[in-house]
Amino acid sequence: FGGSNLLSYICTMKQKLYCYSFYEFKRLVENKDSFIMDDNTVIVSIAGENESTEHLFEESDRVLNVDFDDIDPHALGLEDGTLTWTHPKQGYTVTFISPEMADKIVRFIDKNNNKNIAVHCAAGASRSQGIVRYINDTYYDHEWETRESNPCLCPNMYVVMMLKRKYREIFQ
């Protein structure tokens, strides 16, 4: 590339906004995938209390680890602000995304919205896609490239709502 061709190429490059299941992400980490290991990629890792997933990196400037389950409290007839719920018969407890977790996610994404972003949760289908949907809706002036193999079809809308609400509280 030379001169104006290089500038044209750089201006048309899209930032990557990729969503993964835990096992896809773990395989990429084990294989030292260049996208995941790139200093220009930040990672949002979501784990839940009732899952066999884990955070694969220590939290850092490039990595945000959050823990909440893939359940909308409204679906259980609970009010906003409910942070946990214990199943009355089976006894397991679920944790919902809290305002504090939403604050961490929003600030992390805002600080790093000029980088590639990889988001993973257990299935890569709801919580992580909720964060991808929030990013697409909030940073609509960016050219994001998403994975064709995991399009944002069924985001957890409670996660999207919590992140958008927190963004408005912080920045507007």
State the pTM of this model: 0.88
pLDDT at 151: 63
CB 19 within 8 A of CB 119: yes
From first to last of its 172 residues, the chain has per-residue pLDDT tens of 344 444 444 445 689 999 999 999 999 999 999 999 999 999 999 998 778 889 999 999 999 999 999 988 988 888 877 888 988 888 888 999 999 999 999 999 999 999 999 999 999 889 999 999 999 999 988 888 776 765 666 889 999 999 999 999 999 8
pLDDT at 8: 42
Taking the C-alpha atoms of residue 140 and residue 19, their distance in angstroms, rounded to an integer, is: 17
Taking the C-alpha atoms of residue 10 and residue 18, their distance in angstroms, rounded to an integer, is: 20
